[in-house]
Amino acid sequence: MFDTAVSLHEFGELKIPNELSSKDQSSTYGKYGLGFSIVQQLPLMLVFLLEKILGDGRSNIIFPFLNLLLTASTALMLGLTLQQLGFRIKTALLATLTYAFGTFAWPYISYDFSEPLQTFCVMSAFWFLVSSLKSSPPTRFYLAMSGFLLGYSVLTKGFLLVLIPCYVIYVWIKLERNQRVAAFIYFFSAMIIMGVLIAGINYHRFESVFEFGYGKESYQFTTPILSGLYGLIFSFNKGLIFYAPVTVLAPWALWKSRKNHQPEVVFIVLVLISYIVPTAMWWSWEGGSSWGPRLLLPILPFVVMSAAMILESSPRLELPFGVSCLVGVGINLLGVLIFFVGWNWILGLHDGRISLDLKGRPDNEFVVQEGKQWFLPYVAANYVPGLSPILGHAWLLNLRYLDEPFSINDSSSNDTQLPTVEFSPLKVNFNLLKGDSSTLFLLRSANFWMWNTIAQKPRNNNFSFPLYGLALGRHGDKAVSEGNLWRALYCYKRAAELMPDISAAVVKLSQVQLGLKKVQSSEETLVKFLQRHPREPIVRLQLAFLLEKTGRPKEALNEYKQLRNFNLDDSNLPLVEKRIDYLKHQLGQK
């Protein structure tokens, strides 16, 4: 999605560097909807400014900040909708805070999944619909906006098509017969325009108006429905009742509200059934490496809304609602204080397999031995209670903040012997962390204060690279592979501007400049970098190649000799020695 956003921003195109398409072949397009890539145009406009002011990849913070704003806005729309429906301000406020902090919506502010945008669209569409239908006749603009936002949600993820009939039925129930036709005209007008746009984009990318990018996955509803429903709602690993505990109040609340708010109860029940049932049958119902049932996030506001309805029945019910909210805060804080995929990454370091009797999982996720299916631990973490991320993150928090039973900050030392801990049925060997710097960085990364991230140097000398620069580098690599050196030159120049102290970006820029016969520019690029970092071997090696290639053997020989004093890796040292011997022979030196 991010590469698509950069391509759209820089070139007005949808093509991206090599990506596997839904048809399991090499493709020039990503498989995901464009909705989030379009919204990402806003933070992309600020990257160069933030890098000049703050540097060191700190512009990266604005990308998850986008999801923070979307999540906060969704919570606000939830509260406003309850107000429009006639609920007390206190009920609306409690529901707003519960969604924001008492559910698994909270951890997703730290990552650029598209679910927060999907959720904002479907919740805002309902607010516009409720606001419109309060007037007589219904407000036309609000009807059109509701249809537009639903259409945009489908542009973001095609599966959200299943929710459109729920909105249609709600309009049908709320309006008199003589008002329905006019209301549907405005409701569907913007939606139809969005539908035509989506069909055109699908055809442009995948040569079919009905292909949304998932290819064969679109038909892989292979999980037994009871297994999927249990996993999504009741399991300790992914269940709604754990990651959004107010869920336990929702059935009772809907039943109690069935007379006073019949249209809304019908709407919410239809939304839950039409969305949860097919999701439960999906081959990857758990949503991959995620916190809680990620795929249910778009309908989570309606779960909270239905639970909040119980607050109107009796003041005594505020206590169970408040308790469930606080339990949700505690559980989801585990996925906030440590990046929510941390436990899955630790499990992913282990090669040992776990025997599970599962149906519907793809063949590449397990091996069959002695008539049993053996799964890797990161898959088993979706099913085995002992491997639940809730338990894993609670344990990791001891390492991160309390240094118990050992300190994460000391775990990279070769002198420290880390324990093996029983998480039945797996023994987690924490010694494996020593060779995995990226997982260690994840476990150390949580920071309460955004200002520390912006104002101070990255801790433990882990300097970040701007995501925008890395994406431009990938687009440059793609252009080189296609022989489009002028585009590659543009991409590498922009990447080098964002990453002026990254040797790989500078070397690639110099190579393309040389390929375009811009010898002086190529040399100046390398020399300017070496003035700041004189002992960078890869850049100096590239300069020596350039000098040799452009007929300056004495200068090239001098550069190669200087490289002898640097810490060259085993692959480059023989090459340098070979070039020195060759140039000495050519110049008649001993």
CATH number for the domain spanning 526: value is 1.25.40.10
- pLDDT computed for residue 390 by the predictor: 96
Length of the chain, in residues: 590
The rounded distance, in Å, linking the Cα atoms of 439 and 445 is 10
**3-state DSSP call for residue 497?**
helix
Last residue of a domain, one of 337, 354, 385: 337
- Comparing C-alpha atoms, which of 222, 221, 203 is closest to residue 213? 203
Residue 9 covered by a domain: no
Based on the fold, state whether residues 428 and 413 are members of the same structural domain.
yes
Residue 283 covered by a domain: yes
Based on the fold, state whether residues 426 and 524 are members of the same structural domain.
no
Based on the fold, state whether residues 311 and 348 are members of the same structural domain.
no
**Residues 484 and 516: beta-carbon distance below 8 Å:** no
Based on the fold, state whether residues 526 and 451 are members of the same structural domain.
no
- pLDDT computed for residue 90 by the predictor: 94
Based on the fold, state whether residues 352 and 333 are members of the same structural domain.
no
Residue with tokens 């990503």: 30
* Tokens, residue 320: 């169970």
Last residue of a domain, one of 319, 337, 355: 337
Residue 489 covered by a domain: no
Based on the fold, state whether residues 188 and 300 are members of the same structural domain.
yes
| Structural domain of 415 | 342-461
- Comparing C-alpha atoms, which of 412, 413, 395, 393 is closest to residue 404? 395
Residue 235 covered by a domain: yes
Residue 42 covered by a domain: yes
Residue 494 covered by a domain: no
Based on the fold, state whether residues 149 and 44 are members of the same structural domain.
yes
Based on the fold, state whether residues 255 and 313 are members of the same structural domain.
yes
Based on the fold, state whether residues 434 and 408 are members of the same structural domain.
yes
Based on the fold, state whether residues 159 and 259 are members of the same structural domain.
yes
Based on the fold, state whether residues 325 and 423 are members of the same structural domain.
no
Residue 211 covered by a domain: yes
CA distances for 280 relative to 264, 304, 381, 463, angstroms: 24, 20, 17, 41
* Domain count of the fold of the chain: 3
Query: In DSSP terms, which residues pair with 571 in a beta bridge?
Result: none
Based on the fold, state whether residues 327 and 352 are members of the same structural domain.
no
Alpha helix stretches (DSSP H) within 349-422: 377-380, 389-397
pLDDT averaged over 10-residue windows placed end to end, the chain, 590 residues: 94 80 57 94 92 80 88 98 95 97 94 94 98 92 97 96 97 93 94 95 91 86 96 97 97 92 96 97 92 97 96 85 96 91 89 91 90 92 95 87 73 71 88 78 61 52 74 92 93 91 90 93 92 87 89 86 74 78 77
Last residue of a domain, one of 321, 337, 353: 337
- pLDDT computed for residue 586 by the predictor: 80
The rounded distance, in Å, linking the Cα atoms of 533 and 524 is 14
Residue 108 covered by a domain: yes
